[in-house]
């Protein structure tokens, strides 16, 4: 009655974290718990979203279109073109872009459209970084692919090592999930790296899925995008990218993003989505159109995140392997043992972080390359972030 494919899926990282600390009472005293474990932006919903949400109330009385509205598709395509300097018409709003109800469901479902029953040389493979965003693995498993976890450590620049891929692996690959800026390390793939990834996808006939949901949160320079590489030779084949308003606009509850790229693949993906996807309400589609059209609130978000990275640098210094993430809003800190550190931080400082090992797959020998790390989300307000970082530094320093 239950699919045996689910046996390879561990409990979701956030549930594992709650189980890890369920027997630990909060420390005595007046300290309030500080949540730094989930990447849920808390800068507040942009005021420009209020009116379209209110004005669209009556639209809850009709079914929304799975492929969005023409106005939204044109707006998303226009934003993508502006952001990456794409040629006019390169992203066809009617063939090369589709809204999704949050990129989590889109990233999961895309494997169902991309993974064939078999590959000529064996079971289809799904490449993904390690650590990874859990829906990558879940989508691959549901589609019948064998996940291949590519080590992403400081040695590889926290990105998958493309040189490590053999032709035998590439010939069996059906889908390659690539996250840039990376969650959790914030590493950014440059143009040369993206060109190599695109070339591999085309040479070995697989789909490159560029998860670029953190691309609007950057430290010193805007990250390169895979669509820029595709535009160099006017070719969208074998490539799609995902973008989201959750991080860009601090509206994770809106559940809106989009996928853009290869029109032939997206036609097949859309055929699947008409059966299975939950269409976003019209109020969401209308509000998303307003948010994709505005940059002022995005610049303010970016400023606030940059201030918190500055704060982290001041509080942590060169301890715990601190480095400024080029993109995103996570710190990836080496604390020796992330699971033990997470329990200690909750028990002694009422600070909740996520063990790195909960985001990564164990290697064949049972070790986990992310075990030394914790992921710290800089999503709170200025004061709570400073307090959380201070408690973290003081508490973990006591064990050294």
Please enumerate in sequence order all residues whose Cβ is within 8 A of that of 93, keeping only pairs 6 or more positions apart, or say none. Answer: 70, 73, 74, 76, 77
Q: What is the pLDDT of residues 231-252, one digit of tens each?
A: 999 999 999 999 999 999 999 9
pLDDT category, 30, cuts 50, 70, 90?
low
* Interval 153-186: pLDDT, tens: 999 999 999 999 999 999 999 999 999 999 999 9
- Phi, psi for 5 (deg, rounded to 5): -65, -25
The conformation of residue 118, written as its DSSP 8-state character, comes to -
CB atoms within 10 A of CB 16: 16
DSSP letters for 201-243: HHHHT-EEEEE-TTTT-BSSSPPP-HHHHHHHTT--TTEEEEE
Map residue 127 onto helix, strand or coil: strand
> Is residue 398's pLDDT more than 70?
no
What is the domain extent for residue 248? 51-293
pLDDT digits over 97-113, tens only?
Answer: 999 999 999 999 999 99
Give yes or no for a contact between 160 and 127, defined as CB atoms under 8 angstroms apart.
yes
| 276 and 366 fall within a common domain | no
Q: Are strands 125-130 and 146-151 parallel, antiparallel or unpaired?
A: parallel
- Residue 201: is its pLDDT beyond 70? yes
Q: Is residue 260 located within the same domain as residue 240?
A: yes
How far is the C-alpha of 169 from the C-alpha of 172, rounded, in Å?
5
Question: Are 32 and 55 within one domain?
Answer: no
pLDDT digits (tens, 9 = 90+) for 58-83: 999 999 999 999 999 999 999 999 99
Residues 256 and 350 in one domain: no
pTM of the entire structure? 0.97
Residues 224 and 125 in one domain: yes
Task: Specify whether 270 is located in the same domain as 351.
Answer: no
Same domain, 306 and 277: no
Q: Are residues 60 and 183 in the same domain?
A: yes
Quote the CA–CA distance of 359 and 200 in Å, as a whole number. 26
- The dihedral of CA 117, 195, 191, 326: what is its sign? positive
Pick the last residue of a domain from 235, 266, 293: 293
Q: What is the residue-averaged pLDDT of the chain?
A: 96
Note the pLDDT of residue 28.
78
Q: Which residues of 108-147 are buried (b: 16+ CB within 10 A; e: fewer)?
A: bbbbbbbbeeebeeeebbbbbbbbbbbbbbbbbbbbbbeb
Q: Compare 315 and 1 and report the one with higher pLDDT.
A: 315
Give the SS3 label for residue 392.
Answer: helix
Per-residue pLDDT at 31? 72
CATH number, domain containing residue 314: 3.90.1150.10
- Both 387 and 366 in a single domain? yes
Total domain count, the chain: 2
Please check whether residues 231 and 337 belong to one and the same domain. no
Last residue of a domain, one of 271, 293, 315: 293
Last residue of a domain, one of 261, 293, 325: 293
pLDDT > 90? residue 2: no
Q: CA 184, CA 204: separation in Å to the nearest integer?
A: 28
- The per-residue pLDDT for range 210-229, each reduced to its tens digit, is 999 999 999 999 999 999 99
Same domain (yes/no): 79, 34 = no
pLDDT over 60 (residue 285)? yes
290-321: per-residue pLDDT in tens? 999 999 999 999 999 999 999 999 999 999 99
- What lies within 8 Å, CB to CB, of 88 at 6+ separation is 81
Kindly indicate the confidence band of residue 205, based on its pLDDT and cuts at 50, 70 and 90.
Answer: very high
Helix ranges (H only) for the chain are: 13-21, 50-55, 70-84, 103-114, 134-143, 167-172, 191-204, 226-232, 245-248, 263-276, 282-292, 296-316, 338-349, 382-397
């Amino acid at each position: 009655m239950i699919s045996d494919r689910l046996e390879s899926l561990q409990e979701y990282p956030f549930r594992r974290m709650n189980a890890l600390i369920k027997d630990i009472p909060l420390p005595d005293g007046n300290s309030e718990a500080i949540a730094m474990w989930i990447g849920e932006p808390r800068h507040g919903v942009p005021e420009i979203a209020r009116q379209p949400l209110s004005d669209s109330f009556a639209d809850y009385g009709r079914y929304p279109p799975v492929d969005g509205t023409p106005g939204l598709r044109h707006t998303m395509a226009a934003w993508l073109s502006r952001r990456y300097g794409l040629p006019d018409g390169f992203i066809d709003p009617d063939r090369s872009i589709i809204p999704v109800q949050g990129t989590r469901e889109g990233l999961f479902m895309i494997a169902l459209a991309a993974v064939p029953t078999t590959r000529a040389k064996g079971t289809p493979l799904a490449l993904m970084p390690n650590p990874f965003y859990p829906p990558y693995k879940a989508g691959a498993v549901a589609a019948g692919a064998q996940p291949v976890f590519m080590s992403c450590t400081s040695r590889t620049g926290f990105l998958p090592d493309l040189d490590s891929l053999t032709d035998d692996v590439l010939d069996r690959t059906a889908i390659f999930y690539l996250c840039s800026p990376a969650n959790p390390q914030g590493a950014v793939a440059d143009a040369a790296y993206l060109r190599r990834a695109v070339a591999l996808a085309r040479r070995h006939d697989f789909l490159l899925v560029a998860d670029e949901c953190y691309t609007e949160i950057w430290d010193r320079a805007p990250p390169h995008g895979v669509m820029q590489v595709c535009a160099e030779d006017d070719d969208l084949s074998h490539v799609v990218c995902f973008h989201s308003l959750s991080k860009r606009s601090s509206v994770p509850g809106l559940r809106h993003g989009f996928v853009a790229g290869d029109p032939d693949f997206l036609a097949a993906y859309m055929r699947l989505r008409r059966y299975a996807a939950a269409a976003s309400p019209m109020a969401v589609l209308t509000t998303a159109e307003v948010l994709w059209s505005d940059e002022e609130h995005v610049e303010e978000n970016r400023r606030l995140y940059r201030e918190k990275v500055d704060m982290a640098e001041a509080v942590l210094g060169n301890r715990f392997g601190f480095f400024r993430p080029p993109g995103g809003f996570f710190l990836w800190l080496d604390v020796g043992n992330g699971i033990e550190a997470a329990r200690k931080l909750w028990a002694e400082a009422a600070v909740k972080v996520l063990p790195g090992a909960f985001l990564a797959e164990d290697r064949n020998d049972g070790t986990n390359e992310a075990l030394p790390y914790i992921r710290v989300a800089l999503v709170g307000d200025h004061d709570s972030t400073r307090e959380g970082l201070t408690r973290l530094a003081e508490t973990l320093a006591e064990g050294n």
